[in-house]
């Protein structure tokens, strides 16, 4: 299963991408997380439905210092996850 999340709130400049990376890697998901130009955080994650549900729960909770106002989610086609590798932060450097 492959899901796309868009997290809105105070999620940039507060370690949110690192929080997502840690959570997703511990769960064993494949995919990536990155900031968007309009102040949100975008995530694409692939894994088992129960693993993705664990990530979704973590996204709603957020990192220390963040404020999650909304988590938008939609399912992607399974083939969109075919080239996803170990979970990474895009644009972190």
List the domains of the chain with CATH numbers: 2-80 (3.30.70.100)
DSSP 83: T
pLDDT in tens, the chain (93 residues): 999 999 999 999 999 999 999 999 999 999 999 999 999 999 999 999 999 999 999 999 999 999 999 999 999 999 999 999 999 999 865
The b-or-e profile of 5-32 (16+ CB within 10 A means b, else e) is bbbbbebbebbbbebbbebbeebebbbb
Q: Which helix (H) or strand (E) holds 55?
A: helix 49-61
> Is there a catalytic annotation at residue 70?
no
Please identify which of the residues 22, 34, 35, 67 carries the catalytic annotation: 35
Predicted structure pTM score? 0.94
Told to judge if 35 belongs to the known catalytic residues of this protein, a careful annotator would answer yes
Residue 37: count of CB within 10 angstroms of its CB: 5
Whole-number Å distance between alpha carbons of 74 and 5: 7
């Amino acid at each position: 299963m492959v899901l796309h999340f868009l997290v809105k709130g105070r999620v940039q400049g507060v370690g949110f991408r690192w929080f997502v990376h840690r959570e997703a890697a511990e769960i064993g998901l494949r995919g990536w997380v990155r900031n968007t130009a309009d102040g949100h955080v975008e995530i694409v994650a692939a894994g088992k439905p129960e693993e993705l549900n664990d990530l979704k729960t973590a996204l709603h909770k957020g990192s220390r210092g963040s404020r999650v106002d909304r988590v938008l989610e939609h399912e992607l086609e399974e083939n969109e996850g075919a080239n996803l590798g170990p979970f990474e932060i895009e644009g972190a450097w």
